[in-house]
Structure 1
């Protein structure tokens, strides 16, 4: 994973800060592009395993259809209200479809960790429930940009 920080190196998150932030946050925004060139952005739940972002998507969604034509994706996870609270991460690259689609729980060793993380994070469970409508997308980012405006010593006043 390449860290792409065009500007603002002093507000960039460390690897440890990034991992903690992605473990704590619950919703990301996922951007895809359809075969007609139209972009689509939608909110989605996710988990981070330290290397890849795992997205649990409805297989009959516009997002899924777009990714079937073009696996390139950009994902933003951000939060904050006041200027000095703004934090976030943008991850981009190509997704891989992992496991059966839709997911019914067939054995898939590659999904053991993300399903354990996701089940604990969103359902408070040890075992992932499967609804026969969702499936997994794995983004091992080619580029990562992060920001934490709390690292600025003198945020601007409004």
Structure 2
């Protein structure tokens, strides 16, 4: 179960708002940890099932190599242009590979729903074509933080760091 958000309750998304937001967005930013402790961040498409974030990653990527050594991961999905429109979700936990690696389409009931959702959302297809280069990672978050600055109401699109 994900940790409860303590700060920013005023701008925090409800569970329903968070699920709707994650379902409508396409791209997330994924942060992994290199052996030297430095972070690596890259963008990926994803699927959200209401419990877990499903990431379809190239198995020869730096991300995949780092996650095999250290499964800790942080993912941000965000949107908005002006300050008063900013909203997003950060999910943290451990990435777990699911299915064969790389994915060739062998039967894996756990992947049926995420693959169908991913194919529809990103390609407009009913079935995900497998290229033998990607594999699935599941992030069931240990912590989730969300924000929706639109809830502040009356916040101008012009942000002034000095408060003037």
TM-score interval (norm. to shorter): over 0.9
Structure with the greater alpha carbon radius of gyration: 2
The residue that corresponds to 2:147 in the other structure is 147
CA distance in 1, matches of 2:43, 2:153: 32
The residue that corresponds to 1:10 in the other structure is 10
Deviation at 1:8, TM superposition (A): 1.1
Q: What is the TM-score with the length of structure 1 in the denominator? A: 0.96
The residue that corresponds to 2:92 in the other structure is 92
Runs of 4+ in 1 over 3 A off after TM superposition: none
Q: What is the TM-score with the length of structure 2 in the denominator? A: 0.93
SS of match in other structure, 2:130: coil
CA distance in 1, matches of 2:66, 2:81: 32
Q: Deviations over 1:19-51 (max 9, x none)?
A: 110011010000000112121000000000010
Deviation at 1:5, TM superposition (A): 2.2
The residue that corresponds to 1:112 in the other structure is 112
Aligned Cα RMSD in Å? 1.1
CA distance in 1, matches of 2:27, 2:146: 16
The residue that corresponds to 1:101 in the other structure is 101
Count how many residue pairs are aligned between Structure 1 and Structure 2. Answer: 158
Deviation at 1:4, TM superposition (A): 3.7
Which segments of 5 or more consecutive residues in structure 2 lack a partner in the other structure?
160-164
Deviation at 1:78, TM superposition (A): 0.3
